[in-house]
Amino acid sequence: MSGYCGRFAPSPSGPLHFGSVVAALGSWLAARAAAGRWLVRMEDIDPPREKPGAAAAILRTLEALGLAWDGPILYQSTRIEAYRAALARLRTDGHTFHCRCSRKNIGESPYPGTCRTLGLTAGPRTAVRVRVPDETIVLEDALQGRYAQALASAVGDFVIWRADDQPAYHLAVVVDDAWQDVTDIVRGSDLLSSTPRQILLQRLLGLPHPNYLHLPLALDHDGAKLSKQTLAAPVDGIPPAATLVAALGFLGQEPPRELARATVSEVLARALAHWTPARVPRASRIVGPID
pLDDT tens-digit map of 63-83: 999 999 999 999 999 999 999
3-state SS assignment for residue 8: strand
Backbone torsions φ then ψ of 116, nearest 5 degrees:
-55, -40
So what's the pLDDT on residue 236?
Answer: 74
Whether the Cβ atoms of residue 126 and residue 99 lie closer than 8 Å to each other: yes
Q: Are both 5-78+177-286 and 81-171 of the same fold?
A: yes
Of 33, 14, 16, the C-alpha closest to 213 is: 33
14: left (phi over 0), alpha (psi -120 to 50) or beta: left
Homologous superfamily of the 81-171 domain (CATH): HUPs (3.40.50.620)
- Give the model confidence (pLDDT) of 101-114 as tens digits: 887 777 777 998 89
What backbone phi and psi angles, to 5 degrees, belong to 172? -65, -45
Please give the Cα distance from 183 to 32 (Å, whole number).
Answer: 13
Q: Please name the residue ranges forming H helices in the chain.
A: 18-33, 54-64, 80-92, 103-106, 151-154, 169-179, 195-205, 240-250, 264-273
For residue 28, which amino acid is it? W
Q: Could you tell me how many residues make up the chain?
A: 291
Residue percentage of the chain with pLDDT more than 90: 75
Output the pTM of the full model. Answer: 0.93
- Coil, strand or helix at 280: coil
For 283, phi then psi, to 5°, come to -80, 145
The CATH-assigned architecture of domain 5-78+177-286 is 3-Layer(aba) Sandwich (3.40)
Where exactly are the structural domains of the chain?
Answer: 5-78+177-286, 81-171
b or e along 204-239 (b: 16 or more beta carbons within 10 Å of the residue's beta carbon)? bbebeebebbbbbbbebeeeebbbbeeebebbeebe
pLDDT tens for each residue of 197-222: 999 999 999 999 999 999 999 887 76
Which of these ranges, 21-30, 129-138, 257-266, has the smallest mean pLDDT?
257-266
Residues 6 or more apart whose Cβ sits within 8 Å of residue 163: 100, 102, 124, 125, 126, 127
